[in-house]
Amino acid sequence: MIAKQFVERDDIQQGKTTLVKMVSMLVGLIRANSDVRVFESPAQYGNGGEEE
């Protein structure tokens, strides 16, 4: 697109920066929802889990 002068080089760099951020967020979401993710069950706080 730059060779055909449809866009300026600065516009391309801004788009690449945005794309990298979006891909990073998507990879984070995939990792967060992965079956191989290690996590702990929620802890019970307060009165030991009993209702007052």
What pTM value is reported for the model? 0.53
In degrees to the nearest 10, what's the CA dihedral of 31, 32, 35, 38?
100
**Cα-to-chain-centroid distance, residue 15:** 18
Q: Write out pLDDT tens, residues 3-49.
A: 888 888 888 888 889 999 999 999 988 888 877 766 677 777 776 55
Question: What length is written for the chain?
Answer: 52
**Cα-to-chain-centroid distance, residue 21:** 8
